[in-house]
């Protein structure tokens, strides 16, 4: 498994970028970076850690010793949407490079988030198997490239409208269905441009292609605002915006 992956990684490329969440791991970070000839390692550390952990100090020193560039960034390693958003940001930032994601070094949450991000974007997930698991994983046994399947993020128009709702809500402004139609016209979103209808017809399409899917996903809630329908994000909707805003 590992030898096949190395053959793939040894082809001529600009840079090999490895994204690795850092929890309580050391060897599975720096050993895999060396074996897979990483040019840069992006370490995702927990945003609640005010001081540099001993694990980070060791990993920094070992990567420096191997001449591997380090980039530090923070996210909530135990929050799916926050982690997913950070993976998405970094994969897209380095979209012209070869990006690999180590799923074995963080939390279970970051493993799920990293795998989803790899399936949505062009990144390669892998898992580092240790020979020993007492105290901390050590004596790296092999590195396995994991299979991934293409999945789609929510439609761009759904994400764009959720971002718009959040932006106005944060300012204390009410968003109605009519506002969503106006925004769709201004941004030339498919639910407007792909249908030659006006007035009530636009509201029916808005409900079918925007409002109903977002309600079914639990991302928005509706309430009456005079004669109009007010559209608000739920807590899950706000979390989804954090995760998916990098997808558009």
Question: What confidence tens digit (pLDDT) does each residue in 14-53 have?
Answer: 699 999 999 888 888 999 999 999 999 999 998 876 567 8
How many Å apart are CA 191 and CA 194, to the nearest integer? 6
* DSSP assigned state of 176: B
The answer to whether residue 234 sits within a structural domain is yes
Q: Do 133 and 203 fall within a single domain?
A: no
Query: Which residues, 6 or more positions from 55, have their beta carbon under 8 angstroms from its beta carbon?
Result: 22, 23, 24, 25, 26
Residue 12 has a pLDDT of 53
Q: What is the CATH number of the domain that holds 161?
A: 1.10.10.10
Q: Which domain holds residue 65?
A: 2-145
Q: Do 18 and 117 fall within a single domain?
A: yes
Q: What is the CATH number of the domain that holds 34?
A: 3.40.50.10770
How many Å apart are CA 113 and CA 230, to the nearest integer? 32
The answer to whether residue 197 sits within a structural domain is yes
Q: Do 237 and 125 fall within a single domain?
A: no
Q: Do 200 and 96 fall within a single domain?
A: no
Residues of the chain scoring pLDDT < 50: 1, 3-4, 6, 9-11
Query: How many structural domains are present in the chain?
Result: 2
Residue 140 has a pLDDT of 67
How many Å apart are CA 220 and CA 234, to the nearest integer? 5
φ/ψ of residue 121, rounded to 5: -110, 175
Residue 239 has a pLDDT of 83
The answer to whether residue 58 sits within a structural domain is yes
The answer to whether residue 242 sits within a structural domain is yes
The answer to whether residue 151 sits within a structural domain is no
135: left (phi over 0), alpha (psi -120 to 50) or beta: left
């Amino acid at each position: 498994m590992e030898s096949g992956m190395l053959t793939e990684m040894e082809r001529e490329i600009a840079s090999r970028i490895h994204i690795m969440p850092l929890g309580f791991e050391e060897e599975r970070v720096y050993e895999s970076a060396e074996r897979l000839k990483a040019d840069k390692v992006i370490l995702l550390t927990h945003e609640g850690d005010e001081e540099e952990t001993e694990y980070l100090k060791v990993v920094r020193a070992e990567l420096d010793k191997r001449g591997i560039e380090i980039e530090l960034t923070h996210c909530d390693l135990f929050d799916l949407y926050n982690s997913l958003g950070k993976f998405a940001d970094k994969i897209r930032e380095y979209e012209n490079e070869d990006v690999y994601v180590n799923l074995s070094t963080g939390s279970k949450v970051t493993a799920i988030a990293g795998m989803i991000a790899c399936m949505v974007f062009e990144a390669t997930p892998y898992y580092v198997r240790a020979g020993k698991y007492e105290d901390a994983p050590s004596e790296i046994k092999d590195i396995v490239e994991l299979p991934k399947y293409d999945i789609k993020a929510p439609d761009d128009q759904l994400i764009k409208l959720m971002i718009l709702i959040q932006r106005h809500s944060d300012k204390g402004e009410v968003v109605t269905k009519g506002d969503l139609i106006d925004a769709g016209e201004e941004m030339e979103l498919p639910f407007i441009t792909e249908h030659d209808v006006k007035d009530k017809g636009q509201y029916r399409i808005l409900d079918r292609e925007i409002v109903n899917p977002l309600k079914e996903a639990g991302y928005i809630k509706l309430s009456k605002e005079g004669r109009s329908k007010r559209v608000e994000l739920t807590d899950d909707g706000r979390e989804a915006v954090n995760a998916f805003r990098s997808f558009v």
